[in-house]
Amino acid sequence: MMNIEKCWKKDAMSYASECYPEESCGIVAKKNNKEIFWKCKNIAHDFKLEAFVIDPNDWIECEDNADEIVGIVHNHPDGELQFSDTDKISCKELDLTFYLVDPISDRMIKIEPKEVKC
């Protein structure tokens, strides 16, 4: 499904390894016509959720620094490379492309809001 090698993929992978065993999350943003990966703090633990919640401060900071937010990246440590129902709903709600990375197998999958059937 991935036709082009995303240049930020490496950054997202190494960030996911860095965050292990916790779930990592980040934003894909466009800056000067280039897609970049913006590291975000996962504050899900503050809410005792088994998911990811992007720190709103990181979101604001990213918006201020980049031209446009285009996607969300996260990973499932020790989990399957498969979007959960919560991921799909968030994808649809935020209307952003969702990426799931697995630094161990070096694989990445994505889902578009229009692919989510509710």
Contact residues toward Zn ion (CB under 5 A) are 84, 87
Tell me how far apart the alpha carbons of residues 110 and 95 are, in angstroms, rounded to a whole number. Answer: 13
Min. distance of Cβ 76 from Zn ion in angstroms?
Answer: 5
Q: Map tokens 């990592």 to a residue.
A: 24
Min. distance of Cβ 42 from Zn ion in angstroms?
Answer: 11
Tell me how far apart the alpha carbons of residues 28 and 114 are, in angstroms, rounded to a whole number. Answer: 18
Closer CB to Zn ion, 4 or 117, in the complex: 117
Per DSSP, the chain holds a count of helices (H) and strands (E) of 3, 5
Tell me how far apart the alpha carbons of residues 18 and 80 are, in angstroms, rounded to a whole number. Answer: 18
Give me the amino acid identity at 25: C
Closer CB to Zn ion, 31 or 49, in the complex: 49
Min. distance of Cβ 89 from Zn ion in angstroms?
Answer: 11
* Sheet with 107-111, side-by-side order of all strands: 34-40, 25-31, 68-75, 97-102, 107-111
- The residue number with the shortest CB distance to Zn ion is 87
Closer CB to Zn ion, 3 or 92, in the complex: 92
Min. distance of Cβ 85 from Zn ion in angstroms?
Answer: 9
Closer CB to Zn ion, 30 or 88, in the complex: 88
